[in-house]
Structure 1
Amino acid sequence: MTPGELLALIAAPHPDVAPLPPAAGRAAGVRVLRGVPYGVVEGGRPLELDLWLPGPEAQLPAPLVLFAHGGAWRRGRRDDMGVHTRPWEPGPFERLAAAGSAVACVDYRLSGEATFPAPLDDLRAALRWLGLRADELGIDPLRTVAWGESAGGHLASLLALTHTEPPLAGAVIWYGPADLETARPPFDPASTATPEALLLGAAPATVPGLAADASPVRQAHADAPPFLIVHGEDDVMVPCGHGEDLAAALRAAGAPVELRTVPGANHGWIGLGEEGVEEIFTASLEFARKVG
């Protein structure tokens, strides 16, 4: 047996054909499958996602929410929708599944592993895998809504604006960066030390073409799916102007968009009471269900 034959024999099954892990049952018949491999990157870690599937009373195939986590493209966990939602029981993804939507919480390569467009490519790979296994999972990939917070909101915006096979049904964007070209304190496009520079692999001002490709405001077009953009007016990390400018670009292109700016809310909804966060989550869930 040659080394190549031996490697083929002992290697883990490719995610396209690998058996799904066992599902854990939750309330209302919701099932969760954790750590499902969806992609293989040569020389890198396997890419995984968590799947939340609705209970037996749900209408199948179920619409899909693809969730991208935050963390400045540098850190973060796929099962984290932000500091306010961490103590919720049931958690936000279980709530989405209980309402009838499947949810895929997706890993993507962080900026310490690979630079843009790698994380966006990973979300595309997740969509491809979910489409391939759709019948087995009971999901409808033609009714996919991208939902992201912070850096994940940036990636969800780009995915919704640029993915065409198939096009997405909508996007829910919580306080996501939308412009990697314009100086907005604390962001300086000439600096090599910002999260944006680490994402691109260079100061954005020195790679203008790449910075434009990575800026959702530059990708708005008339055929974009419906967007819900929610942004805190007191955000000191990603100023509210990002959400406002993305909404303006979508409107100018003739695309459907709802913009909600939240008084008193900082990044991650810090400064907002629990009732306010619950209201934002409920409105986002209802939007996802309406367009998905």
Structure 2
Amino acid sequence: MGRQGLATIMGGLALSLSLAGSALSQVVPRTEIYPPHNASFPAGVTGLPDLMYQTIPGYRPMKLDLYLPATPGPKPLVIYVHGGGWTGGTQRLAGTFDSWPAILARLAARGYVVASVSYRLSGEARFPAAIQDVKASIRWLRANAAKYDIDPSRVLLWGGSAGGQLVALAGTSCGVATLSPLPNEGSVEAGTVRGGSASDCVQGVVDFYGISDLAAMDAGVPVNAPLTTAGQYLGCQTALCAPSLVASASPITYVDAKDPPFLLVHGTRDRTVPYAQSELLAAALRAKGVPVELAPIPGADHSFVMGSPEKNAAVNDQVLAKVFAFIDATIGKPAK
């Protein structure tokens, strides 16, 4: 083959590679493609696990589980945020409750769309990453309200421990730009809508034993001690953090008269997050005229631990009845 023929072949190959590269650069981001693995629960509730609500370069995709009731028409939305000290946990576990997905499906069967969300943990990204993710999930669900039969005007947050702190922070910080999802963050799931422009304000909050004032935590911890979970969340020992950083992560900082109704449930013998943390938030909310109910659980430790499986189960039933009643009263129990 002569030089001219080789040059022609190489030129054609270069043109093909150029065209291929141009085509690849124009490919629209896609979600993972895998056969659906939906779940069925009693009363006709359908579970849609692992829906991707947000992708951020350099991090794992953020996912949520969705529980859809069989009733037609737009329904109120309840979003659950898990605990785990901001260092662990999943959207399918909660305290001493058995089969948390089954409990969320029970709530869905009452006529609610229920979501349980994941978020970036402190080992992946420090504050404000987790609250930005929670707010991104609210926006994504609102943006996809038509697809999942959600009434975007009736949204309530529910969380425990670290999740309690996050839902309280989200509930009190409506419209705070420094805690909002970063620009262009959102799901790239095919056929859905990005949630960037939707509101992350909510109409109710249920907070189980969450921290409301991080400045009051870790008092007396030596500054040279290993980071506590709150320290890992913030990225510094609480006593050494800038006061403005600690305040920005504390729900109590943002309390004002526009906040939604709160239900605070907390064990009086909590050795992880003192009961006084919920008392502080309740007092701050009342001072601004915000409807708030503080429900103490006498003798309960963190996660409503009572000392035996039987006592734990009895308290859990009591707590769920109170929570379901509050949800009904706050965002409206839809007609069945």
Residue 167 of structure 1 and its aligned partner are, at CA, apart by 2.5
**1:189–1:210 CA distance, 2 compared to 1 (3 A):** farther
Which letter does structure 2 place at the counterpart of 1:46?
A: P
CA distance in 2, matches of 1:38, 1:114: 17
Residue 9 of structure 1 and its aligned partner are, at CA, apart by 3.8
1:189–1:204 Cα contact (<8 Å) kept: no
Of residues 215, 234, 244, the one that matches 1:200 is 234
Which letter does structure 2 place at the counterpart of 1:278?
A: D
The CA deviation string for residues 170-192 of structure 1, in whole angstroms up to 9 with x for no partner, is 0000111111112456x749455
Match of 1:281 in 2: 320
CA distance in 2, matches of 1:210, 1:175: 22
**1:169–1:262 CA distance, 2 compared to 1 (3 A):** same
Say if 2:86 is the partner of 1:65. Answer: no
Of residues 120, 125, 128, the one that matches 2:136 is 125
Match of 1:51 in 2: 66
Q: Does the residue aligned with 1:181 lie in a helix, a strand or coil?
A: helix
Match of 1:81 in 2: 94
- Structure 1 stretch 40-49 or stretch 159-168: which is displaced more? 159-168
Q: Does the residue aligned with 1:35 lie in a helix, a strand or coil?
A: strand
Match of 2:170 in 1: 159
Of residues 290, 293, 308, the one that matches 1:258 is 293
CA distance in 2, matches of 1:106, 1:49: 4
Residue 216 of structure 1 and its aligned partner are, at CA, apart by 1.0
Of residues 275, 278, 297, the one that matches 1:240 is 275
Say if 2:124 is the partner of 1:113. Answer: yes
CA distance in 2, matches of 1:182, 1:26: 42
**1:12–1:122 CA distance, 2 compared to 1 (3 A):** same
Residue 13 of structure 1 and its aligned partner are, at CA, apart by 3.5
Task: From the CA coordinates, give the structure whose radius of gyration is larger.
Answer: 2
CA distance in 2, matches of 1:207, 1:253: 27
CA distance in 2, matches of 1:197, 1:13: 34
CA distance in 1, matches of 2:35, 2:143: 13
CA distance in 2, matches of 1:217, 1:192: 26
Match of 2:109 in 1: 98
CA distance in 2, matches of 1:87, 1:139: 25
Say if 2:192 is the partner of 1:181. Answer: no
CA distance in 2, matches of 1:255, 1:195: 30
* Residue identity (%): 39
Which letter does structure 1 place at the counterpart of 2:257?
A: A
Match of 1:211 in 2: 246
Residue 148 of structure 1 and its aligned partner are, at CA, apart by 0.2
How does the TM-score come out when normalised to structure 2? 0.79
Residue 23 of structure 1 and its aligned partner are, at CA, apart by 3.6
1:39–1:126 Cα contact (<8 Å) kept: yes
CA distance in 2, matches of 1:197, 1:12: 36
Say if 2:206 is the partner of 1:172. Answer: yes
CA distance in 2, matches of 1:226, 1:289: 12
CA distance in 2, matches of 1:166, 1:73: 21
Residue 161 of structure 1 and its aligned partner are, at CA, apart by 0.9
1:146–1:170 Cα contact (<8 Å) kept: yes
- Structure 1 stretch 228-237 or stretch 251-260: which is displaced more? 251-260
2:136–2:200 Cα contact (<8 Å) kept: no
**Structure 1 spans left out of the alignment, 5+ residues:** none
CA distance in 1, matches of 2:168, 2:35: 29
Number of aligned residue pairs: give it: 284
CA RMSD in angstroms comes to 2.3
1:192–1:198 Cα contact (<8 Å) kept: no
Which letter does structure 2 place at the counterpart of 1:160?
A: G
Moved over 6 A (4+): none
2:257–2:290 Cα contact (<8 Å) kept: yes
1:180–1:189 Cα contact (<8 Å) kept: no
